[in-house]
Structure 1
Amino acid sequence: MPRLLLLSLLPAGPLLADPFTVAPMPVTVWKSVYGSVEARDRIPARSRIGGTLVDLSVSEGDSVTAGQEIARIVDDKLDFQLAALSAQREALEAQLANAETDLQRGEDLLKNGVTTLQRVDALRTQVDVLKGQIMALSAQADVVAQQAKEGVVLAPVAGCVLDVPVTRGAVLMPGEVVAVVGGGGTFLRLAVPERHATALEAGDRIRITEGGADREGRLARLYPLIEGGRVTADVEIENLPDSFVGKRMLVSLPVGERAALMVPQAALFTRAGLDFVTLQTASGPVLRSVVPGETHRIDGIPMVEVVTGLVPGDVVLPASEAAQVRASHD
């Protein structure tokens, strides 16, 4: 009878060198949930004045730098206010020039004893009042000019534009959102069923499945508020893709431990569709059919959980001796 090919359940690992005594081992219980990619900083760029959006230079997906101009809002009333303040200032400056002339004339008359000091003081007060009014108008003009400058909308942080809810030509009120910018990197946000919340702690190791491969992350924060029967948690992971904010990823959380019978992966072999291990018994080595379960890596050695077929205390033979027993059965 031709020798059958031995099929490995896992990639080749270290061979079993010594007999292995089967005993219950603690196995982490993993709960699979979906997490969504979130931007660490998600800040809206808002309009600071009301007016018409005359320029919009970004759209969804564009990259921006902190302080970059992304839109411009114009309020025509501000130009009219500036023009009115300028006209008032010109009128006051004309009155000031006339008051200063009267003051100079009064001072000359006072030197000659023609007028009184009270009259000169009144003229001097009038000049000071007009100068104060001109300064007040200048300050008002500066305020209006600053309001006009605040029509420029700037990116609050460096990152990617996630949403632009307005279009060019729209009329905006102060405080309305022009664009939402996400920056500062990304993290995973989870919604964990509340029954598993007590089993989680900050710093727990988290497995993330991406593209068929597992990556490892760290549970950074567990929020105390329960909403809709779920607890919010944040997971830190290096080099997390940030091309799509809101993308869902499969995450495995450690929610407990259970005992399981494990054997080294190298001790398992397949024949005629069944899985076997070689046991040492009082009557000699024998083949035992088993039903394998999940695979785990313990101390760097790939181990396979045995659902049925073994009991605690069974001795599994090393790979070299097991090969000889298998050869005798071929």
Structure 2
Amino acid sequence: MARLHFRFLVAIASLLSSVVAAGADTLTVKPVSIADEKAVFATVESISVVPARSRIGGTIAELHVREGDAVTHGQAIAVVGDEKLVLQMKSLDAQIQALQAQSDQAQTDFDRIEGLVERGTLPRTRLDEARTALNVAQNNLRAKTAERGVIQQQQTEGQVLAPQDGRVLKRLVAVGSVVLPGDPVVTVAQQDFKLRLRLPEEHAHFLKAGDRIRLDGDESGERVAKWGVIDLVYPQIEEGRVVADATVEGLGEYFVGDRLRVWISGGTRPAYVIPAGFVKTRFGIDYVLLRQGDGTVEVPVQRGRQTPTPELPNGLEILSGIRAGDQLERP
């Protein structure tokens, strides 16, 4: 029995402490300057989309990627095969073997004639002729070996390499397709995605680099809003619209061209913004607890729109019912 009485006293004490803590959570109402936000649509776009091109002509023998795959700079994404290069390589190998035999024979003749000339059996002119023949044979071997290196380099260039880190947007060929030097094989979007805004031209005077934009959590598939910064406002107006790029942390890295609704600033105005937790709703009417003297009274207020900020993610605009200097308590 004593143990139950002790637990009851502990529960009462904890309840009283929570009530005191809740009563201590107060807020002084003061006007703040907020952005007059307007909803616009933006598209997810890559900074640059570049094609991965074939460096030689031939037939696509291998294709290692498909739409949506992530690639890194220099990664082999396809192989272009040319049967003529294989035949040329076999022909050069046979010619190199023949020239190697000629060079070996010329070296043998030079060594033998050099020995005979030293013993005085043959005149020195025969040694000069043998040296010339040896030099010609060796130079012919070097030239043919270099020609083989050119063909081998062409075979190496049959690999189509990714021009940058990013994601494959589209495959333009299939295995067996015939390509020419410079033909695109796939298109690669650079991995750093941005939001591209196209706004009516009347916003051109309000929009500037460094302005913050807000992306609703529903648009990004998350519960909290995301914030971004406008990086660049393009100086040219296209078809009555001003174009701007914005960076948003944690923006999706898969879909390019995805349309999202974002909120931009169309100017500023004064307003009363309080945390949403200070407002309680009963029978469809919103109330706040207003401190008067030693007590509090419930005052009906008119709720405005959600006004989240980086400092106050759950901010709520109050249109009427409170004024500057009022002391509010959390219900």
- Relative to the length of structure 1, the TM-score reads 0.70
2:238 matches 1:231: no
2:262 is aligned with what amino acid?
V
Deviations 1:168-201, CA, capped at 9 Å, x for gaps = 1111112222223345453323234444344344
What SS does the corresponding residue of 2:236 show, helix, strand or coil? strand
* Per-residue Cα deviation, 1:200-220 (whole angstroms, up to 9, x for no partner): 444432200242655222215
Q: Is residue 2:317 matched to residue 1:304?
A: yes
**Alpha-carbon contact 1:59-1:164 (below 8 Å) kept:** yes
Moved more, 207-216 or 256-265: 256-265
Matches of 2:132 and 2:154, distance apart in 1:
33
When residues 131 and 259 of structure 1 are mapped into structure 2, their CA distance, relative to the original with a 3 A threshold, is: same
Q: Is 1:208 matched with 2:176?
A: no
Structure 1 residue 124, shift from structure 2 partner? 0.4
Unmatched 5+ stretches in structure 2 = 1-21, 291-297
Q: What is the CA deviation profile of residues 232-278 of structure 1, one whole-angstrom value per residue up to 9, with x for unaligned ones? A: 3132222x22232221111112232134577997689788x898999
Q: Deviations over 1:41-94 (max 9, x none)?
A: 745332221100122232212344555543221111111221232233233334
Alpha-carbon distance in structure 2 between the residues aligned to 1:209 and 1:189? 16
Which of 217, 232, 246 does residue 257 from structure 2 map onto? 246
Query: What is the one-letter code of the residue matched to 1:246?
Result: G
What does residue range 128-277 of structure 1 map to in structure 2 within 5 Å?
Answer: 128-157=135-164, 159-182=166-189, 184-211=191-218, 215-219=225-229, 221-228=231-238, 229-238=241-250, 240-259=251-270
- 1:294 maps onto 2:302 in alignment: no
- Conservation of the 8 A alpha-carbon contact between 2:43 and 2:260: yes
Q: What is the identity percentage for the equivalent residue pairs of Structure 1 and Structure 2?
A: 34
Paired amino acid for 2:126: R
Greater mean alpha carbon deviation, residues 212-221 or residues 26-35: 212-221
Residue-pair matches, total: 297
Distance 1:252 1:116, change over 3 A: same
Tell me the SS of whatever aligns to 1:132.
helix
Moved more, 149-158 or 79-88: 149-158
Q: Counterparts of 2:117 and 2:269 in 1: how far apart (Å)?
A: 107
Give SS of 1:211's match. Answer: helix
Contact conserved, 1:160 with 1:183, CA < 8 A, in 2?
Answer: yes
Q: What amino acid is aligned across from residue 231 of structure 1 in structure 2?
A: V
Contact 1:267 1:319 in 2 (8 A): no
The aligned residue for residue 96 of structure 1 is: 103
1:111 to 98, 113, 118: 118
> Matched residue of 2:176: which SS?
coil
The answer for the alignment partner of 1:37 in structure 2 is: 44
C-alpha displacement at 1:164, in angstroms? 0.6
**2:34 corresponds to which of 13, 27, 31:** 27
- Aligned residue number for residue 5 of structure 2: none
| CA distance in structure 2 between the aligned counterparts of 1:252 and 1:207, rounded to whole angstroms | 5
Report SS of the residue matched to 2:216.
strand
More strand by share: 1
| Contact 2:169/2:186 (8 A) holds in 1 | yes
Larger relative contact order (Cα-Cα within 8 Å, sequence gap ≥ 6): 1
Using structure 2 for the length normalisation, give the TM-score. Answer: 0.69
